[in-house]
Structure 1
């Protein structure tokens, strides 16, 4: 059975092109259009999963989870202080 997982793609305009980032794995790519940047990011992710050791994948996912939890906690504290 295959293990399906969804990842985030953040695509931003930069100069005369687009940059696509998967923050969970810290993998980025670029393209002349949004569609091209997205396709290039998917290709970069596929290549990463083909060659990365399972421990490297887990390390990146764990690091992102820790960072996200840390930022969320800080954000909640800031909202409580403002309110």
Structure 2
């Protein structure tokens, strides 16, 4: 003979089922958030690396231009010195 659950037991079982489903969804949400955070960190790291590379490139260009101007100035100084 099958025993029928009391209304209190049925309500408890229903509450446990709902609690479990909500918990599962929360865990899924947390995992999605963690994945998104990791992707954001990776993207930020790549952007930072790219910016660092661009900074080094610009610094190199500036050094090259400075050396070029210095050479031109030396040349002009020698030219002027030769005319005196």
* TM bucket, shorter chain: 0.3 to 0.5
Of Structure 1 and Structure 2, which has the larger fraction of its residues in helix?
A: 2
Of Structure 1 and Structure 2, which has the larger fraction of its residues in strand?
A: 1
Relative to the length of structure 2, the TM-score reads 0.37
Relative to the length of structure 1, the TM-score reads 0.37
